[in-house]
Amino acid sequence: MRLQTFKLFGLGAALVMLVLAAGNSGQVGLAQASCTVIVQPGQSIQAATDQAAEGMVICLSAGIFEESVKITKSLTLRGAGREQTIIKGQNQDRPIILIQSRFEDQVALEGLTARGSGDAIHVTGESKVALKQMAVSDSEIHGFLVNESAKVSLFESQVMRNKGDGFKMEDSAQVSLSRSQWPP
């Protein structure tokens, strides 16, 4: 009987330590990944993505960033909120965000706005891209150009005021929308 009581006590103590290790989140194993790198307005998002290792989370502070960004690996680009973090395109011949991969890289874009430029976001290759709480607006051509076998999913996002189509899909590309706004 004492051995069983001791085992139960040990199991209970281990569980308490696991919960305490989870911190104030109250979630074990479900906590959202924290920022690996923080980029301020005036700093280069492209430099941060180039230096980032696979799977890193790059957080963009509130403000306006004026540049084009090319992503060629699995990573997360997280803003402070779509009303607070805006990436504006500088060149109408290039997308604001180009996600290009020959592998099934997983890219997440969260809490930011891509505004202006030619195609706002171009996803090509075999990339799998998840967009959450994003706004894509005011592009000179398309909001999204998705081609080859790329897969894009939007959750709680807005695609609006683009001169061309909100989405242009080519080849075997796929786009799915969930709780998102997209006027035709």
If one compares 31 and 26, the residue with the highest pLDDT of the two is 31
Please report, rounded to a whole number, the percentage of residues in the chain having pLDDT higher than 90.
66
User: CA nearest 86: which of 61, 67, 64?
Assistant: 64
Which pLDDT belongs to residue 184?
A: 58
CA separation (Å) from 155 to 9, 42, 101, 178?
Answer: 44, 29, 22, 5
Token pair belonging to 3? 């051995």
The answer to whether the beta carbons of residues 77 and 45 sit under 8 Å apart is: yes
What are the backbone dihedrals phi and psi of residue 176, each rounded to the nearest 5 degrees, phi first?
Answer: -125, 145
Question: Is pLDDT of 27 > 50?
Answer: no
> What is the band of 8 on the pLDDT scale with cuts at 50, 70, 90?
very low
If one compares 19 and 109, the residue with the highest pLDDT of the two is 109
> What is the DSSP secondary-structure string of 127-140?
-EEEEES-EEE--S
Query: Rounded mean pLDDT of 22-51?
Result: 74
Question: Is pLDDT of 16 > 60?
Answer: no
